[in-house]
Structure 1
Amino acid sequence: MNAISTYLQVSFFTIFVLCVSLLKAQDRIAVLQDPVVVLLDPNDGSILDPSFIDLTPLDPGTPKALLQVVDEIWITDQIRDRIDRFDIAGNYLSTIGGQVAGGGLDNVRGMELVNGEVWVTNAGTNNGAPGNAIVRFDLDGNNLGFFATTGNDSTFDIIDVGSGEVYISYIGSESKIERRDYTGNVLGNILNQGIVNFIQQIEVNTTNNSVYAAVFSVTGPNSSGLYEFSITDGSILNYWNEGNLRGVAILQNDNVLVSNAAGVRSLNPNTGTSTVINSASSQYFGRISLTPCTPPPTPTGNASQTFNDGATLADIVVSPANVTWFATEADAMTGANPLPLSTVLVDATTYYAVSIVDNCLSDPLAVTVNIVLGASDFDQHTLRVYPNPAKNILTVQYSGIIQRVLVMNLLGQQILEQSAHSESITLDVSTLKAAVYLLTIEAEDKQHTLRFIKME
């Protein structure tokens, strides 16, 4: 096993352990069963609280989706064109939008925390709403604008999958699962049109590199029910005939919760058998933590630190030493996409340190690193990497003989490797997703790592 393989295995294990730790903070699954919010056990789906929030005083229309926003719970109402806000104990706080002039929302469904914002799927134009669009809010409920969505059909759910990317489900003749970046640009599709009809809630199955989709209607040979689609090519990996579905959520025991007008069931994907949880008409699932979170102190350390080429995150001096590092402030604020300590430092780059205690995150400490070169190190003055940003071809030129170049994402996962024995090498990066990548050049027993941007 070579050093890179060992490094990647350690990196994946570190990320997996941290993700499991953060998952434990979401200690309840909530499901909307008008007019109440029901709390379920995240391990087996059993009912823990049959009426956590009673929406009756708010005269609900169709409560659709639930999202925890820091220490609040937000619930979309599809018919009433609004978002109702509650504290973590379920007490009503306020409403965003509504059927009033300038309310800004109409026919809303799913929502998600994305890069420090709340994104909401919107379909209508009443109340000054923008039609088929993703409407954006800050965490205080202030409207930040919107991204128009494609085609004549509307979006139904949205999930943040990390690394600057979201997946969006569509309904109608343009039913699909679309990829967009955090600035709203379309990156392509996970699932193309014409396969299924009326995709409601979606959820990523990380163990199988797939997406579960709750499909409501029939199209051609493909009926309604629960589908599992490959993220790689959109192929149908599995199908379970569970009726006209609205919601889907993965349990910790690997069973899958599904919901529709007939209630909530727990599906064993291995046997294909499902067990009734209850029979009340149900909408989307959400995940919430009822445990009060007290953020630990912000880490301390020099905001600018200098290192030799080849240093890693483990070499940055901060207190406490057992912090978690992130590539962006947005990731640091939400705990998304943690970096392995073996991540090689890149000159003039800022990294963000967060203390995590009892699943609570501190405010981040920003540290900008400066890399100095020794006599035996790379001569950066004779190194050229162009164009940067790159769309299709990336060229690397150096005054010495280049043996190999590696492309990794910001999580340290190897994406591309190419060997050479020349002073110039070209890389075909056309198939890479639009993102920031790390490029490591190995030449004459020396190596240097820098960042490059892949454009769509």
Structure 2
Amino acid sequence: MRNFLGSLMAAALLASGALAQPYIMMPDSTNNRIVTFDPFDGSVMNPNLFALAGGTPIHAMVVGNEIWVSEQGGDRVSRWSMTGTPLGQIGTAGLDNIRGMGLVAGTVYVTNAGTANGAPGNAVVMFDTNGNPMGSFTTTGLAPSPFGILAHQGGILVSSSSGNNDIHKFNLAGGSIGAFHNSTSLNFAEQMNYAADGNVLVAGFSSNNVVRLDVNTGALIESFAASGARGVIQLGNGNIMWTNGSGAHVFNVTTRTSSLVYSGGGRYLELVPEPMSLFGLGAGLALLARRRRKA
């Protein structure tokens, strides 16, 4: 009986995906593929998880049990299984020159800058998690040429490649709350992510840096040099991974130096957590229990 229970739990954990390893994923827009990195130290795990369809991929993120990839040149969000089977697309109708995305409170927010294909210009376009359109809201004059989305204190932050605001805050329906950050220390803000201390990391493409901003006030705390920075995420060991047109780099917070860890077209970085599923665990247990009763 003891051996049976041990086998039961092990098989259930396998069924739930609990033994799968978390990873950071990044679209390589030069080689058109998904690359994965170790979330603790930033080392390359898989340089080619699966091939992408082109279209200048910017941001890959998990939506349900799919990976959605924004394509800046393709004017669409391509949809993939977790192992790279193509599942269709959102767009091109209603999207043009899209960049970063965010899944916040069950809504997928996609940054948009163009007007081709019936797209709304400088705006954030919204979809449900099945890909159905939910409207859009303009960012003109607030976050012109939007580039990234970050959930923030019940609303969202939208980064911008041009003024007036480097980062502007909106409520979830698109109403303006106000400027989060606007200074000469940050120029052409791309990806935003939370640091381990709860503050906000931002990749500055034209300011050639990564900045850390106070999560409540948006005030600058510190920065480090990062030429043409696009993506950013903090690693489990405390160092900071950032990307640019040359690839992915790791900034050592002790030595204050960066090292290239992957060569290619670096874009946004997204953590894919350990896929523990209580539903999967329960299903695995039930399945094995039925088999045991029949034996």
TM-score tier after normalising by the smaller chain length: 0.7 to 0.9
Give 1:29's aligned amino acid: I
Change (3 A) 1:224 1:236: same
- For residues 81 and 256 of structure 1, the distance between their equivalents in structure 2, rounded to whole angstroms, comes to 30
Structure-2 separation of matches of 1:269 and 1:169 = 24
Partner of 1:160: 151
Kindly state the Cα deviation for residue 199 of structure 1 after the two structures are TM-superposed.
0.4
Alignment-mate amino acid for residue 136 of structure 1: M
What do residues 332-370 of structure 1 show as CA deviations (whole Å, max 9, x unaligned)?
xxxxxxxxxxxxxxxxxxxxxxxxxxxxxxxxxxxxxxx
Asked if residue 265 in structure 1 is aligned to residue 255 in structure 2, the reply is no
TM-superposed deviation, 1:294: 5.1
In the other structure, the counterpart of 1:50 is: 47
| 3-state SS, counterpart of residue 40 of structure 2 | coil
Provide Cα deviations, 1:204-227, integer angstroms capped at 9, x if missing partner: 2251x421111111xxxxx42111
Could you tell me how far 1:178 is from its partner in structure 2? 1.4
CA distance in 1, matches of 2:22, 2:222: 28
Mapping for residues 93-132 of structure 1, pairs under 5 Å = 93-98=87-92, 103-132=93-122
Equivalent residue in structure 1 for 2:27, among 19, 25, 32: 32
RMSD (Å) for aligned C-alpha atoms: 2.2
Equivalent runs, 1:25-424 vs 2, <5 Å: 27-34=22-29, 35-55=32-52, 58=53, 60-98=54-92, 103-151=93-141, 153-161=144-152, 163-207=153-197, 209-217=198-206, 223-289=207-273, 291=275, 293=277, 295=279
Identity %, equivalent residues: 35
TM-score where L is the length of structure 2: 0.82
Which residue of the partner structure matches residue 372 of structure 1?
A: none
Structure 1, unmatched stretches of 5+, are 1-23, 218-222, 299-456
Q: Which structure would you say has the larger Rg? A: 1
What SS does structure 2 have at the residue aligned with 1:173?
Answer: coil
CA distance in 2, matches of 1:182, 1:263: 33
Structure 2 SS opposite 1:227 = strand
How big is the shift at 1:179? 1.4
Give the deviation of 1:85 after TM superposition.
0.1
Deviation of the 1:281 alpha carbon: 2.0
For 2:163, the aligned partner's letter is S
Alignment gaps of 5+ in structure 2: 1-18, 283-295
Partner letter of residue 215 of structure 2? Answer: I
Flag the 1:236–1:270 CA change in 2: closer, same or farther, 3 A. farther
AA partner of residue 201 (structure 2): Y
Q: Which has the higher contact order (CA 8 A, sep 6+)?
A: 2
Secondary structure of 2:117's aligned partner = helix
Q: How big is the shift at 1:193?
A: 5.0
Deviation at 1:268, TM superposition (A): 1.8
SS at the partner of 1:174? coil
Question: Which whole-Å CA distance do the structure 1 matches of 2:165 and 2:105 have between them?
Answer: 25
- Contact kept? 1:26, 1:287, Cα under 8 Å: no
- For residues 43 and 196 of structure 2, the distance between their equivalents in structure 1, rounded to whole angstroms, comes to 23
Q: Which amino acid aligns with 1:75?
A: V
Indicate if the aligned counterparts of 1:175 and 1:197 stay in contact, CA closer than 8 A.
Answer: no
The answer on whether the counterparts of 2:195 and 2:233 sit within 8 Å (CA) in structure 1 is: no
Structure 1 letter corresponding to 2:255: T
Verify the 8 A CA contact 1:175 1:198 in the aligned structure 2: no
Which aligned runs of 4 or more in structure 1 are off by greater than 3 angstroms? 289-294
Specify the code of the residue in structure 2 equivalent to 1:113. L
Query: What is the Cα deviation at residue 150 of structure 1?
Result: 3.3
Give secondary structure in 1 for the equivalent of 2:177.
strand
Output the CA distance in 2 between the equivalents of 1:273 and 1:292: 35
Secondary structure of the structure 2 residue equivalent to 1:295 = helix
For residues 47 and 134 of structure 2, the distance between their equivalents in structure 1, rounded to whole angstroms, comes to 35
TM-score normalised by L of structure 1: 0.54
State the AA in 1 paired with 2:238: D
Partner Cα distance (2:249, 2:215) in 1: 25
Deviation at 1:175, TM superposition (A): 4.3
Tell me, what secondary structure is at the counterpart of 2:163? helix
Gap change, CA 1:277 and 1:164, over 3 Å in 2: same
Structure 2 distance, partners of 1:297, 1:245, is: 40
How many residue pairs align between the two structures? 261
Q: CA deviation at 1:231?
A: 2.7
Supply the distance in 1 between the matched residues of 2:243 and 2:273 (Cα, whole angstroms).
21
Q: Secondary structure at the match of 2:188?
A: strand
